[in-house]
Amino acid sequence: MQRRMTITMDEAVYDGLMRVVGRGKVSQFLEALARPHVLDTALDEGYAAMRSDPVREQEASEWINGLIGDVSNAAR
């Protein structure tokens, strides 16, 4: 879902955006600039990259299953 927003900026900045980015592309440009500062996508991208590595996933699964065995033998 997309939402509309009205922003106010200096005329020189507005003119620069129109000149460099172009009319109709300002929203995408500003969203791309703001996204890394307001969303924690780096963590999501890191997890996605780890999931796509089958060798790493196998090693992680073996490690986790090993921990389960350690906990079940722990004194209580």
Q: What is the pLDDT of residues 23-64, one digit of tens each?
A: 999 999 999 999 888 887 777 788 888 889 889 889 888 888
SS (H, E, C) 39-76: CCHHHHHHHHHHHCCHHHHHHHHHHHHHHHHHHHCCCC
Q: What is the pLDDT of residues 4-22, one digit of tens each?
A: 999 999 999 999 999 999 9
15 in a domain, yes or no?
A: yes
2 in a domain, yes or no?
A: no
Q: Is residue 49 domain-shared with residue 68, that is, in the same domain? A: yes
Q: Is residue 31 domain-shared with residue 51, that is, in the same domain? A: no
Which pLDDT does position 20 carry in this prediction? Answer: 96
Q: Is the dihedral of CA 19, 25, 41, 3 positive or negative?
A: positive
Range of the domain at 53: 41-72
Task: Enter the pTM of the model.
Answer: 0.51
Residue 31 belongs to what H/E stretch? helix 26-38
Domain count, the chain: 2
